[in-house]
Amino acid sequence: MRRFEDMNPLCAAFYYLCVLGLTMFGMNPLTLSLSLLSSILSAVLFGAVKGRGHAFSLILFLIAALINPLIVHNGMTVLFYFNDNPITLEAVLYGLTAAGMITASLYWLRCLSKVMTSDKVLYIFGRFSPKLALLLSMSLRFIELLRVRWRKIQDTQKALGLYRDGNLIDALRGRARVLSVLIGWTLENGIVTAESMEGRGYGSGRRTSYSAYRMHLSDWLFLPVCAGLTAVAVVGQVRSTVVFYPDMQMELWNLWGILGAAAFAVLGTLPLIINAKEALRWRGLLSKV
Amino acid sequence: MARLTLEGLSFTYPDAKAPALCDVDLQIEGGEFLTLMGATGSGKSTLLRLLKPELRQNGTLSGRVLLDGKDIGGLTARESASAVGFVAQNPEEQIVTDKVWHELAFTLESLGARRELIARRIAEIAAFFDIEPWLDRETATLSGGQKQLLNLAAVMTADPEVLILDEPTAQLDPIAASRFIDTLHRLNRETGLTVIISEHRAEELIPISDRLLILEEGRLAFCDTPKKAASALKDTAYLRFLTASARIFAGTDGAGEAPLSVREGQAYVNGLTVKEIQTAEKTAEQKASALSLKNVYFRYERRGADVLSDLDLEVKEGEIFALLGRNGAGKSTMAAVAAGLRRAYSGSVRVFSKRLKDYTNGSLYQGVLSLLPQDTENVFLRETVREELCGCEKAEERLPFDFKPLYDRHPFDLSGGERQLAALCKALSTNPRLLILDEPSKGLDGNMKALLCGVLKGLKREGVTILMISHDVEFAALCADRCALFSQGRIAAADETETFLFENRFYTTAASRITRQKTRGGYTVERAVKLLGGAGC
Amino acid sequence: MLTIRNTKVRTLLRYAIPFLLVPLLVAVGAVAFEGKRYLIISLGIAVLALLLFMTGFERRNIGSRRMVITAIMTALAVFGRFIPVFKPITAIVVLTAVYLGAEAGFFCGALSVLLSNIYFGQGPWTPFQMLGFGLIGLLAGYLGRVLERSRVLLALYGAAAGVLYSLMMDVWTVLWYSGGFDGKLYLAAIGSAVPFTVVYAVSNAAFLMLLYRPVGNKLRRIKRKYGV
């Protein structure tokens, strides 16, 4: 079973580049509402955002929506006055659209973070620069090591009587000392790592970058489909008119606008479609076992 | 033609007066298994590093190393990286990348290999070394034994002709170490790989070695088969590098061919008569408890498994108590719980009959208890030994070791043994009555172990109670009064050292295994020799 | 396949990016995308600039010791974000740059942002943050000789870097939100961020003062002992 998460990382990267680009660069209310809906759906189904995350997004949405009418007073239709400043319908609607854009982008990014594990990030960097991928991989290992060691040094020093007074200054000074030991120890031992690298051929010539990921037929198919849908959605956005200030002019429901929105709807739910299809196929396969 | 030829190899470090290595000549055939022994500082590491051009250090070198007749310095970077594989002591630090599969790929990536070759080699190596189940894990989460096995596997991906190992099992527990050595033996036997290893573990290595090399002050003092070594080294100080069987044989003035393995040793000992010596009457006085744990339960995470479960332990005042067991079984966790660094969720912990929480404001760590961890690096906070030991003068006097020559050195530049003693000195500076030591003998050679053992016994005489956590049975046999086996989160058995080692069949010393059919007290070579009527060794 | 395997292509990229792609992007952006041209242009330039540095990095022969030390310092900067109260990321980037050079500083900054965002969440701001921290490191590397000598200058640099970084990120926030550059929104954004900026700048300076001696000594020792 090849779920969206198991596809080549380039596909996932390209996909999120497309949806994020369409979401961030457009201010089309139609596309943005579709984007918001599909991003929330994606985030829930991928398990990228849980209870508290949704609450945070809601608060962010509200704040982002409120800021614009409170600061920007352009627009013809005045709704009411607040502190002697006009609050206009246009500014309110713009604020809502911008808030939708920001919220949707954040939901997409959460999905991206969930799907793009460190392995996949490394794979993509390895394509550009094997050396950089190695540097990233080494840093990731050192992060884990530092975490383990921090704990160990903290314990050791405590048991040897480092934290005597139990006040804040003592705690801070102790932390700084522990950090200092941590750095010294890690740098010192790092030389062994460097020797191990040299012993195993580092710097003997050009590196290659290995990864278990390969391009399957489905990956090759995915990329043009994704690009095609994006292209249609872009044309749809260009052909529709969205003007907020000073007077709202919206023309969303022409042929291209509808086509573009439809393309975006498919694009936004593409990973879900793939996973549903794979799940169905899996059921069929299992029944044969 | 020999695979590896060393011709008049000498090496001097930049600021040293005497050469670290002096005129070494050696021919190593393809497929040989060579064990290199010698005291710390005898030039073992220097010699091994000279065989791998990338790892040569600054200094003056004379003589040549030839690989299949070609000078090893003349190889291209790629040739030499793949021809000679090198595994060093520290399992953790040799790992470069974050994931196990990536670590296996690293060597071939560096050599610019094709993707398909890398994929195939990873599959092959993972199967041979049995690391398939953890191929996707993060390297930081592996155990020490797994890490060292991964280092070996990663070096083997380049398909080297010669494999060099510099004390690879010094940091491992005995079970992981013998697994590692078994894998080496298998590699040597099944693929004809040439192996050169420096190591202190005579029991496992000597029976499988083709030749034994002994270095002394940079010179090759001995080089022949182990069988010959046993008779040739009989009356020399080098005897200590041999197995317990050979040492008992030499100590009891045995004649004929010397036994090497435990089995041969048993056959030899069974032909001897035991002379029973009167051991001093045991003092049966009831001593107060220094540390007591009752029904202790501990786990790291709420949903995790119990690391300690229903653990009972009692350490009496003024004794040396050794807690033995496999690595990762939870021994260190128990130490942390006993020292108040982790809180047990159930059960009671008392230090000198006082509950842990009654020691407020860190008073536990001032004059009551001190814990010395496995990794002594994290004891040191300063740039020089002098600053580090400032305020430890009293403690320094208690140790039979002169720290003054080391004063201007950086703590990280000390040798393993010196560092262990300096750390111990710091731990003693708060004047603790209970000392908990975690793996104090890790990575030390025989001489240093004996010195440390003397130090611990001296502290005991001063009234310090010592709880020692170790996987080193031989070390525990040397200095502990009582031993216990830790298993499944609790103490499986605690007893007097003699009874403990006699009744254990597997978790015991080689000397005890050899002599158990004749006597129960021969659990160290020295004791065995005394009991079997030797003059002492 | 899709990689830039070919060395020639890499070299081409090195020259094409500053002289061709960036002007092209500005021109196309100015004509084509009406609503959000600044956003697209700025994001594009950030990504291209990062790409430029990466191709340079791949080209150079970097010794294993340098690699390891850079990786450790990067890891430390990321790890710093996990320690409560302590957020010494800028300080570590600056110190790395001062002792190991401009390039190491740049990558320590850029990669620590990328890696820590794996834990804390990537955003459209990631390329800007990467470039921002990268440049803080790069500049510190160029000024290394001067900064190494004086703790006060180092602290001043840290504070200034903090303020400039905040100002830059606020520009980006405004661009993202409103499409064009809106002076009022920008002032509002700066105004609301003042307390954060101040805390940030002061803590940068403080951490540099605090870490200068211990970290500096260790890096010097390593450089001397192992000849990096």
Long-range contacts (CB closer than 8 Å, 24 or more residues apart) made by B513-522: B513/B262, B513/B266, B514/B244, B514/B245, B514/B248, B514/B262, B514/B265, B514/B266, B514/B269, B515/B248, B515/B269, B517/B266, B517/B269, B517/B270, B518/B269, B518/B270, B518/B272, B518/B274, B519/B274, B519/B276, B521/B279
Claim to verify: residue C207 and residue C118 sit in the same structural domain? yes
Residue among A152, A189, A207 minimizing CB distance to B109: A207
- 3-state SS, residue C96: helix
As a whole number, mean pLDDT of residues A3-10 equals 90
- State in Å, rounded, how far the first CA of chain B is from the last one: 41
Query: What pLDDT was estimated at residue C180?
Result: 66
Instruction: Give the number of other CB atoms < 10 A from CB of residue A1.
Output: 10
Q: Testing the interface with C: which of A14, A32, A135, A170 to mutate, by most C Cβ within 10 A?
A: A135
Asked if the model's pLDDT at residue C15 lies above 90, the reply is: no
What is the separation of C-alpha B464 from the centre of its chain, rounded to a whole number of angstroms? Answer: 25
Task: Using a CB–CB cutoff of 8 Å, tell me whether A136 touches chain C.
Answer: yes
Sheet holding B21-28, edge to edge: B21-28, B4-12, B60-67, B70-71
**pLDDT at position C18 over 70:** no
Closest residue in chain A to residue C212, using alpha carbons only: A180
Q: C24-49: per-residue pLDDT in tens? A: 666 665 555 555 567 777 777 788 88
The nearest alpha carbon in chain A to B100 belongs to: A141
Q: What is the mean pLDDT of chain B?
A: 87
Is C124 within 8 Å of A197 when comparing Cβ atoms?
Answer: no
Q: In A, which residues are within 8 Å of B115 by CB distance? A: 208, 210
Does C76 contact A20 at a Cβ distance shorter than 8 Å? no
Asked whether residue A225 carries a pLDDT value surpassing 90, the answer given is yes
pLDDT of residue B536: 43
Dihedral (C-alpha) C110, C112, C113, C114: value to the nearest 10 degrees? 90
Structure confidence by residue, pLDDT tens digits, B491-526: 888 888 888 988 888 888 989 999 888 888 888 888
3-state secondary structure of C37: helix
Highest mean pLDDT among A213-217, B272-276, C29-33: A213-217
Number of domains in chain C: 2
Express each pLDDT in B33-67 by its tens digit. 999 998 887 888 899 999 998 888 888 888 889 99
From the CA atom positions of chain A, what is the Rg in Å?
26
Residues of A (3-22) whose Cβ lies below 8 Å from C: 10, 20
pLDDT, tens digit (0-9, with 9 covering 90-100), for B115-126:
899 999 999 999
CB B438 within 8 A of CB B335: yes
Contact between C65 and A194 using a beta-carbon 8 Å cutoff: yes
CA distance B229 to B211: 9
pLDDT band, residue B483 (cuts 50/70/90):
very high
Q: Which residue, among B383, B384, B387, would best test binding to C if mutated, counting the most C CBs under 10 Å from its CB? A: B383
Strands B465-470 and B320-324, sheet pairing: parallel
Q: How far apart are CA C178 and CA C186, in angstroms?
A: 10
Residue with tokens 């580090």: B388
B66 Cβ contact list (under 8 Å, min separation 6): B4, B5, B7, B72
DSSP code per residue over chain A = ---GGGS-HHHHHHHHHHHHHHHHH---HHHHHHHHHHHHHHHHHTT-S-HHHHHHHHHHHHHHHHHHHHH----S-EEEEETTEEEEHHHHHHHHHHHHHHHHHHHHHHHHHHHS-HHHHHHHHHHH-HHHHHHHHHHHHHHHHHHHHHHHHHHHHHHTT---S-SHHHHHHHHHHHHHHHHHHHHHHHHHHHHHHHHTTTTSS------S----HHHHHHHHHHHHHHHHHHHHHHHSEEE-SSS-EEE--SHHHHHHHHHHHHHHTHHHHHHHHHHHHHHHHHHH-
3-state SS assignment for residue C65? helix
C161 lies in the same domain as C105: yes
Q: Cβ B430–A160 below 8 Å, yes or no?
A: yes
pLDDT at C151: 84
Chain B, residues 46-85, CB within 8 A of chain A, namely 52, 54-55, 76-78, 81-82, 85
- Taking an 8 Å cut-off on Cβ atoms, the answer to whether A207 and B430 are in contact is no
C114 lies within 8 A of chain A by CB: yes
Relative orientation angle of helices C151-178 and C183-226, to the nearest 10 degrees: 140
Q: Are strands B346-351 and B490-496 parallel, antiparallel or unpaired?
A: unpaired
Judged by CB atoms within 8 Å, which residues 453-482 of B form the interface with A? none
The Cα of B113 is separated from the nearest Cα of chain C by a number of Å equal to 14
Q: State how far the Cα of A61 lies from the Cα of A55, in Å rounded to an integer.
A: 10
Count of residues making up chain A: 289
Quote the minimal CA–CA distance from C125 to chain B in Å.
Answer: 26
Q: What is the pLDDT of residue A154?
A: 86
Distance spanning both ends of chain C, measured CA to CA: 36
The better pLDDT of the pair C13, B368 is held by: B368
Secondary structure of B508-535 in HEC code, one letter for each residue? CCHHHHHHCCCCCCCCCHHHHHHHCCCC
Mean pLDDT confidence for B451-480:
90
Domains in chain B (CATH in brackets) are: 4-246 (3.40.50.300), 294-504 (3.40.50.300), 507-537 (no CATH)
Q: What is the 3-state secondary structure (H, E, C) of B273-307?
A: CCCCCCCCCCCCCCCCEEEEEEEEEECCCCCCCCC
Question: Which residue(s) pair with A241 in the sheet?
Answer: A251
Mean pLDDT value of segment B76-96: 90
B382: contact with C, CB 8 A cutoff:
no
Mutating which of A137, A210, A211, A214 best tests the B interface, going by the most B Cβ atoms within 10 A?
A210
- Whether residue C107 sits in one domain with residue C42: no
Q: Does B362 touch chain A (CB under 8 A)?
A: yes
Higher pLDDT, B385 or A163: B385
Closest residue in B to C213 (Cα–Cα): B383
What pLDDT score was predicted for residue B53?
87
Give yes or no for B537 touching A (CB within 8 A). no
- How large is the average pLDDT for residues B401-411? 83
Q: In angstroms, what separates the C-alpha of B155 from chain C's closest C-alpha?
A: 17
For CA atoms B146, B152, B155, B156, the dihedral sign is: negative
Q: Which pLDDT tens digit goes with each residue over C108-127?
A: 999 998 888 887 777 777 88
The pLDDT value recorded for residue C107 is 92
Cα A113 from chain centre:
4
Q: What is the three-class DSSP state of B133?
A: helix
Task: Quote the minimal CA–CA distance from C11 to chain B in Å.
Answer: 20
| Amino acid present at A172 | L
Q: C7: which chain B residues are within 8 Å (Cβ-Cβ)? A: none
Distance from CA of C131 to the nearest CA of B (A): 25
Which pLDDT does position C3 carry in this prediction?
A: 44
Q: How many other β-carbons are positioned within 10 Å of the β-carbon of residue A138?
A: 25
> Which of B75, B82, B92, B109 should we substitute to test contact with A (largest number of A Cβ atoms within 10 Å)?
B109
Read off the pLDDT of each residue in B284-305 and give the average, rounded to a whole number.
Answer: 85
Is A63 at the interface with chain C, CB within 8 A?
A: no
Residues of A numbered 165-204 whose beta carbons fall under 8 angstroms of chain C's beta carbons: which are they? 172, 175-176, 179-180, 182-184, 186-188, 190-191, 193-195, 197-198, 202-203
Nearest Cα to B319, choosing from B460, B438, B454? Answer: B460
Tell me which chains share at least 3 CB pairs under 8 Å with chain C: A, B
The domain in which residue C123 lies consists of 63-226
Q: Which of A152, A166, A189 sits opposite B362 (nearest CB)?
A: A166
Which residues of chain B neighbour A207 with C-beta distances below 8 Å? 109-110, 112
Q: How many residues does chain B have?
A: 537
Hey, are the CB atoms on A212 and B373 less than 8 Å from each other? no
- Counting Cα atoms < 13 Å in the Cβ hemisphere of C155 gives 13
The sign of the dihedral angle between the CA atoms of B245, B250, B255, B256 is: positive
Q: What pLDDT is recorded for position A263?
A: 94
* Dist. CA B401–CA A43, nearest whole Å: 64
Under the banding of pLDDT at 50, 70 and 90, the label for residue B154 is very high
User: Do the chains contact at C76 and A140, CB–CB below 8 Å?
Assistant: no
Q: Are residues C140 and C34 in the same domain?
A: no
State whether residue C221 sits within 8 Å of chain B by CB: yes
Rounded (5°) CA angle B242-B247-B248 = 150
Comparing alpha-carbon positions, the chain A residue that sits nearest to B52 is A199
Task: Please state, rounded to an integer, the average pLDDT across all residues of chain A.
Answer: 87
Lookup: tokens for B279: 């051991």
Contact between A240 and A260 under an 8 Å Cβ cutoff? The reply is: yes
CA C185, A63, A240, C46 torsion-angle sign: positive
Contacts of B339 in chain A (CB under 8 A): 159
**ipTM > 0.90 (yes/no):** no
Nearest CB to B96 within list A160, A166, A197: A197
- B-C contacts at Cβ under 8 angstroms: 3
Check CB contact of C217 with chain B, cutoff 8 Å: yes
User: How far is A282 from chain C, CA to nearest CA, in Å?
Assistant: 31
Looking at residue B379, its amino acid is V
Q: What residues 383-412 of chain B have any CB closer than 8 A to a CB of chain C?
A: 383, 410
Q: In this model, does residue C179 exceed pLDDT 80?
A: no
Contacts of C115 in chain A (CB under 8 A): 136, 139-140, 143
Q: Which chains touch A (3 or more CB pairs under 8 A)?
A: B, C
Substitution target in B58, B96, B409 with the highest count of C β-carbons within 10 Å is B96
Cα angle for residues B425, B426, B430 (degrees, 5° grid): 105
How far off is chain C from B137, nearest CA to CA, in Å?
Answer: 18
- HSE-CB at A51 with a 13 A cutoff on CA atoms is 0
Q: Which amino acid appears at position A241 of this protein?
A: T
All structural domains of chain A with their residue ranges: 8-202
What are the tokens at B478? Answer: 């040397």
Angle CA(A173)–CA(A176)–CA(A179) in degrees, nearest 5?
A: 150
Any idea which of A47-51, A72-76, B189-193, B298-302 has the lowest mean pLDDT? A72-76
Q: What are the DSSP E strand ranges found in B123-166? A: 162-166
pLDDT tens-digit readout, A104-139: 998 998 898 888 888 888 888 888 788 888 999 999
Residues in chain C with CB shorter than 8 Å from the CB of A72 are: 178, 182, 184-185
Whether residues A152 and B108 touch (CB distance < 8 A) is answered with no
